[in-house]
Amino acid sequence: MIATMFRKRLLWGVALVVLGLGLYALFRMPSLEKAPPFQHGDSGKLAASGEWTAYGGDLSGRRYAGLDQINTDNVSKLEAVWTFHTGDTADHKQDPRNLPAFEATPIKVGDTLYFCTPTNVIFALDAESGKERWHFNPGTDTRGHYQVTCRGVSFHHQAAEARVCRDRILAATLDARLLALDAASGKPCPDFGTNGQVSLRTGQEPIKPGFYSITSPPVVVGDVAVVGGLVLDNQSTDVPSGIVRAYDVRSGELRWAWDAGSAVNPLPVNAPYDRGSPNAWGVFSADESLGLIFVPTGNRSPDYFGGERSAVEDAHASAVVAIEAATGRTRWVFQTVHHDLWDYDVASQPVLVDLEQDGKPVPALVQATKTGQLFLLDRRDGTPLTRVEERPVPQNGVAGERLAATQPYSVGMPSLHPTTLRKEDMWGLTPIDRSWCERAYEKYRHEGLFTPPSLQGTINFPSNLGASNWGSVSVDPRRHILIANTNQIASIARLIPRVEADRMRAAGITLYHPSAGTPFAADIRPFLSPLGIPCNAPPWGVLTAIDLDRHQILWQRPLGTTRDLAPVPVPLALGVPNMGGSLITAGNLIFIGAAADNYLRAFALDSGKELWRARLPAGGQATPMTYTGRTGRQYVVIAAGGHAHLGSTLGDAVVAYALPGTSSRQHQ
């Protein structure tokens, strides 16, 4: 993955060279747009429920809380009030190739927090004190898995009286199991599947170790839990299906199966799954009133050559798909990239918000993408609410490839990422460094966004890390403000003819993207200078606010510093790579970790001004959440366990922050 560029070695040059060159790097940094202060009508204060019942706060995925005890006036006083260590330090003795990432966002129901560690150990903590109530270790087999992570768990309450497990935690594992646990005790629910678990390997065999896993929580709608899965990229055309399945939350019985490789959905009973079909590894959202689940999809393996893909697979790939929760029938499909050859799968959770159009309320869906485009859709039928144009894109791919003649551009919404990288955008800490990048730029093919992979090497900008990734965006439903944290990093994609790839393997050269079953292997690497620093100018990480009513950028600022990326702690505010998401509160605050330095930050929603930051014990590559405890005290919580791909500090902490001395009497 492209984020491996930011391991500890990468910014030696920053620490050693910048000290001698003063502010050269800062003078070269392009200015960011900052719009004038905006006056927005407040649609009214939302009820502060104090709960966080699903991964994104609720099924809408807005990552918003109507709590304002912590606000712009007092956030500077925020302090850590408890820290919990899971003990999952991710040494991964099962397989040393495992790279851990603590990406979990806890949910909060009643007075308990629930979350999972990278190896799927599930914890329940007292929401007020952070003390453990129970934990369950499913004994996950991590062998062969490259990235070891678990983003969260889900909750279901049975309205009717139940003999056991009236409240249950639903979670999925890396080794492809769906679990149901009693929320009160952590014990497996005996009425669910076999001893509280269902195998997700059914219909998927054969599965090579690490080729199929579940990293995101199931979405629970009514009495069904719907789960997708991650299929390992760029290994082979013969990999497990990207099947999406719904299970009865009480019995574990399969209700329906939806396959992006099938022309008929839901699949007939006992129908085989299409091997290698586009998967859906990210977090789903849902609208219970419409009975729809919104699924972000990837594309068929491998990513960088698509000559083997069927028309049906292409039609459902790199898209957001609305599926009926009760039946598994496809309601609508909106594709963000046609015939994706850049690993621009839809990684971000679709976010639901109600807007107005022509004076009438419209149930909308915002889809952030790796390309940096934001698509604003009517979630009832997938119709764009802002203008989308099909534009011609670069052609002349490799032999055997077919290219889409046009790609969708969301011209009615501001873009979160440039569409072209120019020679004059090359950057370096010294003139020599920059000159090297300029010469390298001239060797590769780059005609802007959607330049196809090539034998000479193609510059992809953004890289496959994307502008937006699984952290998605947050949305304030009162003021219709969207907050996005994005990356701006380039990569090189070079296709290797099969004969050459076979010679390389015979010589003992490891191919990380062998793409077996196609005429080409792939070599994908970040576009770096000899100092290990991106050739494109900073910022490499950006925080952006967008007005969803006016479709305008309100402000932008670099996100993160080099503080924890170099052996000498030089905190240059260049903006750094980030993984994770943001949280908005009614206190007009944005909370975000994500950046590859060990900080949790709070920004003013109106201006983007940083108001507070706290050092974390490890990288905060997760999405924070907030809630109120029994006494009415508001807490902000984040998992701080780092991200091996990003090169941030690893650990096992969950940290809670609150105002000193707050209680229910002070809660508004």
CA 451/CA 201 separation, integer angstroms: 37
Assess contact for 7 and 642: CB atoms under 8 A: no
Provide the 3-class DSSP secondary structure of residue 437: helix
Distance CA 183, CA 448 (A): 50
For 353, list phi and psi in degrees, rounded to 5. -150, 145
Instruction: Quickly list H helices, 542-657.
Output: none
Three-state DSSP class for residue 118:
coil
Where b means 16+ CB within 10 Å and e means fewer, 195-225 reads: ebbbebeebbeebeebbbbbbbbbbbbebbb
How far is it, in rounded angstroms, from Cα 545 to Cα 538? 19
The pairing of strands 541-547 and 177-182 is unpaired
**Number of residues that this document lists for the chain:** 668
Q: Edge-to-edge strand order for the sheet containing 653-658?
A: 79-85, 653-658, 634-640, 625-628
554: exposed, middle or buried (Cβ count in 10 Å: 0-12, 13-18, 19+): buried
Tokens representing 53 are 């019942």
Which amino acid type is present at position 91?
Answer: D
Q: Position 550: which residue type?
A: R
Strand segments, DSSP code E, in 165-307 are: 167-172, 177-182, 197-199, 212-213, 219-221, 224-227, 230-231, 244-248, 254-258, 285-287, 292-296
Q: How many of the other CB atoms lie within 10 Å of CB of 31?
A: 6
- 343 catalytic? Reply is yes
Which has the closest alpha carbon to 299: 243, 345, 262?
345
What's the distance, Cα to Cα, between the start and end of the chain in Å? Answer: 44
Q: Which amino acid is at 330?
A: T
Choosing from 343, 345, 523, 597, which is the catalytic residue? 343
Closest CA to 556 of 36, 38, 32: 32
How many Å apart are CA 462 and CA 488, to the nearest integer?
6
**Element (H or E) spanning 365, and its range?**
strand 360-368
Three-class DSSP category at 235: coil
CA distance 316 to 658: 44
Q: Under DSSP, is residue 252 helix (H, G, I), strand (E, B) or coil?
A: coil
Whether the CB-CB separation of 29 and 537 falls below 8 Å is answered with: yes
Among 440, 616, 425, 423, CA closest to 539: 425
Q: 14: helix, coil or strand?
A: helix
Residues annotated catalytic, as ranges:
343
